[in-house]
Amino acid sequence: MNALVRGSRVLGFAAAATFFGGAAAFAGHKAAPSHAPPPRERNSCSLNDVIGVTFPEPYDIVTAKHDDGTGSITITCTGNRPSTTIQIDLSTGEGNSYNPRLMYGRNGATLKYNLYAGPEHRIIWGDGTPPSHARQQVIREDPVTLTIYGRIFAGQRSAEAGNYSDSLTVTVVP
């Protein structure tokens, strides 16, 4: 048995989309008098760039050491200035679980991992379904880049050599 699981393990993010929220337009509404403040622009956010989480070191099944990596999401929002609060959700991925998430290799081999909102690896970044937490972010200037912290858990002695990956959906809700 190989002591190291080799190859790049990149988590891809799928279905990046633009989501709209904010005040609805009402039919038949009369125009405001000229001294009224201008109507607020409808809030709109989009994902500009998503860099999947990469674990740069081969996973070592012998040592009792986690394998950590990072990725990022860059978001731009317009409207509702001077600041906008948004929620960023990450899906469970192909394993349909937040704790642990699963990366898949050949022949159904898996590696247990998770994604976190901070470098201390304590708050599981998800959609708010326990045990995960959705990330709330105040956007004051555009664009904003958020780091995703990943961890492949130590002690997975049955891991097979090869490449492992998972695909998740990122949702931005203004």
Give me the sheet containing 101-104, strands edge to edge: 19-21, 43-54, 67-78, 144-152, 110-116, 101-104
Tell me the C-alpha to C-alpha distance, in Å, between residue 82 and each of 32, 40, 78, 140, 146.
22, 11, 10, 6, 19
pLDDT digits (tens, 9 = 90+) for 76-123: 887 756 778 899 999 999 999 999 999 999 999 999 999 999 999 999
Architecture of the domain made up of 47-173: Sandwich (2.60)
Residues 152, 131: Cα–Cα separation, whole Å: 17
pLDDT digits (tens, 9 = 90+) for 1-60: 333 343 333 445 432 222 223 222 222 223 333 444 444 555 688 888 999 999 988 888
Q: In a 3-state reduction of DSSP, which class is residue 104?
A: strand
How many other C-beta atoms lie within 10 A of the C-beta of residue 11?
Answer: 24
User: Domain locations in the chain?
Assistant: 47-173
Tell me the two tokens of residue 153.
């858990």
136-147 as b/e, with b when 16 or more CB fall inside 10 Å? ebebeeeebeee
Taking the complete model, does pTM exceed 0.85, yes or no?
no
Residues 125, 88: Cα–Cα separation, whole Å: 9
Q: What is the rounded average pLDDT of the residues 142-156?
A: 93
